[in-house]
Amino acid sequence: MGETVIRELISEEKVCNRINELGAKISKDYEGKELHIITILKGGVFFACELAKRISIPVSIDFMQVSSYGDSRESSGIVKISKDLDEPIEGKEVLIVEDIIDSGKTLSHLKPMLLSRKPASLRLCTLLNKPERREVNVPVEYIGFDVPDEFVVGYGLDFAQKYRNLPFIGVAEEQ
């Protein structure tokens, strides 16, 4: 087994600039309203905190931790909630914040479940999007970057719980 080397894919500066742009757009889109952010743990925390700081309207935040069970290669399509929301979302403007969306399977099950809780609106924001991996079409209103089908780390994304704290987006490569 070789050493893991991280190749920079998106610089810290580009990530920060894009989060500024997303914060401005979200602030404009929800002008005059309050926004409730649901952050998907663990990876979404880094992005959600930086994004929330750049949104100029009132923001509240809550967390969910979800996983799809099945073998290591494929989601079973069953979403298990290991940490549910602390607050009800009925009547709230809700934005789900994710670190990355690839197959779309987890969100295709999570979104209807959250809609059944009767938010005023429910939109999706992701730092990274892997369109090549999409198996289920999930509308994503706010996308930071489209990335190639490579194993990305940093800014909340991990490899065996490591590299989440990198301030840039990198690709983990075995040497």
* Residues annotated as part of the active site: 102
d(C-alpha 12, C-alpha 9), whole Å? 10
> How many Å is the maximal CA-CA distance in the chain?
54
Inter-CA distances, 136 with 93, 122, 131, 167, Å: 24, 18, 10, 30
Contact partners, residue 161, CB within 8 Å, separation at least 6? none
d(C-alpha 109, C-alpha 61), whole Å? 21
